[in-house]
């Protein structure tokens, strides 16, 4: 049975309230300081590790890769473990923000990881990071309110959905929608391509009700919007609250992402962080996390041992088929072109009035 989003929010809020403000406070017991996305552990992931190892965990959370980067750019304030996405790993490596990993200390990873998540292009040989969870960016919608199945971006940008669509408040994700919709490279750094993407969004701006801060699923559940651009697991987490909510990977294509376990430069507890990473790769631990978040696991042993909920394993929007994967693209580091993305996103928000 799917777990309630509200329970997850409460659990994470309690964890954060316990950890907030303690990053510089001395501890009598070994303490692991984690900086992660919200609702991204199972209910007992952290407490079990604490009990098993007689340690304490302090958890802080962030809402975007860019927030993570900004927090650590001026120097690590005390975190031992972070969870950047693929393209952000590239950016952090380029600015020397990540420690090297000793894979000999991660036997669970070596034994249990799916080979497709080893030696990724953004971190060759997994020298600095290992995969944590993966998923897609797609379309969440309420079938009863849309009155039709939504299959792709072309279905979203229809006049009948005026002020009923929310997009994520992120320059990269929004411009990528425009790039896919106009048949451009979703990792393009060409000004002409980005202008075309911006102009597509502007030409269809009447459908946009809001830009959400990683809570499009909540807007959808409340009925504030009928359609939202969101991450796969976020939509699945609210499906039990409303049987009309659906998630689809757009037929024109979309992005696939991998969030990673990485140790930032300046971590005070590197060995404890590596111990935690190894723990995460225990099949049951990995399965519990994926069964909670409704994101896909890179832990092949967890899948082979049938520890993942059968409903999730059989859902191709969570575990896409090989044919579907051909239409999914990893985001790569766009370097200085981020300035163009930010500029054009500012144009879009100003025109929409937000």
pLDDT at 16 over 90: no
Q: Return the bridge partners of 228, or none.
A: 140, 166
Q: What is the model's pLDDT at position 27?
A: 52
Q: What is the pLDDT of residues 118-137, one digit of tens each?
A: 999 899 999 999 999 999 99
Strands 129-142 and 245-248: antiparallel
pTM comes to 0.82
DSSP state of 116: G
Indicate the domain borders of the chain: 5-134+257-318, 135-255+327-352
Pairwise CA distance, residues 44 & 42, whole Å: 6
Work out the average pLDDT over 155-169.
Answer: 96
Question: Is residue 92 within 8 Å of 69, Cβ to Cβ?
Answer: yes
Instruction: Quote the pLDDT of residue 2.
Output: 32
Checking if the pLDDT of 11 tops 50, the result is no
> What's the confidence (pLDDT) of residue 118?
96
Q: 221-265 pLDDT, tens per residue?
A: 999 999 999 999 889 989 989 999 999 999 989 999 999 999 999
Three-class SS of residue 130?
A: strand
Domain 135-255+327-352 has CATH 3.40.190.10: yes
End-to-end Cα, the chain, rounded Å: 38
Q: Which of 133, 127, 140, 131 is nearest to 37 (CA)?
A: 133
Q: Are 45 and 277 in contact (CB under 8 A)?
A: no
Q: Hey, do 5-134+257-318 and 135-255+327-352 end up sharing a CATH topology, with the first three levels equal?
A: yes
CATH of the domain spanning 5-134+257-318: 3.40.190.10
Classified as helix, coil or strand, 201 is helix
Count CB neighbours of 316 within 10 A. Answer: 11
pLDDT at 297 over 60: yes
Q: What is the largest CA-CA distance in the chain?
A: 60
State the Rg of the chain over Cα.
20
Residue 14 pLDDT greater than 60, yes or no: no
What local confidence, expressed as pLDDT, does residue 23 receive?
Answer: 55
Residue 261 β-bridge partners: 130
**pLDDT tens figures, 256-279:** 999 999 999 999 999 999 999 999
Specify the length of the chain in residues.
354
Rounded distance between C-alpha atoms, residue 157 and residue 167, angstroms: 12
More confident residue, 21 or 153: 153
């Amino acid at each position: 049975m799917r777990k309630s989003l509200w329970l997850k929010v409460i659990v994470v809020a309690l964890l954060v309230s316990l950890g907030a403000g303690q990053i510089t406070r001395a501890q009598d017991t070994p303490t692991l300081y984690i900086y992660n996305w919200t609702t991204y552990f199972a209910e007992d992931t952290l407490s079990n590790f604490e009990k098993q190892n007689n340690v304490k965990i302090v958890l802080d959370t962030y809402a975007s890769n860019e927030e993570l980067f900004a927090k650590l750019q001026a120097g690590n304030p005390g975190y031992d473990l972070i969870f950047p996405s693929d393209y952000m790993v590239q950016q952090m490596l380029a600015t020397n923000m990540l420690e090297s990993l000793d894979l000999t200390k991660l036997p669970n990873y070596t034994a249990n990881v799916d080979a497709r998540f080893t030696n990724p292009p953004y971190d060759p040989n997994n020298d600095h990071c290992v995969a944590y969870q993966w998923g897609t960016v797609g379309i969440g919608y309420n079938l009863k309110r849309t009155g039709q199945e939504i299959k792709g971006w072309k279905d979203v940008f229809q006049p009948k959905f005026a002020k009923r669509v929310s997009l994520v408040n992120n320059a990269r994700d929004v411009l990528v929608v425009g790039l896919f919709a106009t048949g451009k490279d979703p990792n393009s750094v060409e000004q002409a391509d980005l202008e075309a993407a911006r102009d597509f969004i502007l030409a269809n701006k009447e459908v946009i009700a809001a830009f959400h801060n990683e809570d499009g699923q909540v807007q959808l559940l409340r009925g504030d919007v009928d359609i939202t651009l969101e991450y796969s697991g976020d939509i699945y987490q609210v499906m039990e609250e409303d049987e009309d909510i659906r998630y689809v990977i757009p037929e024109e294509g979309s992005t696939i992402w991998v969030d990673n376990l990485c140790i930032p430069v300046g971590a005070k507890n590197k060995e404890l962080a590596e111990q935690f990473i190894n723990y995460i790769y225990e099949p049951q631990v990995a399965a519990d996390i994926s069964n909670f978040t409704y994101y896909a696991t890179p832990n092949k042993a967890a899948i082979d041992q049938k520890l993942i909920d059968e409903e999730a394993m059989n859902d191709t929007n969570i575990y896409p088929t090989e044919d579907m994967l051909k239409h999914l693209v990893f985001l790569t580091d766009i370097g200085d072109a981020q300035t163009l993305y930010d500029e054009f996103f500012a144009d879009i928000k100003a025109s929409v009035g937000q």
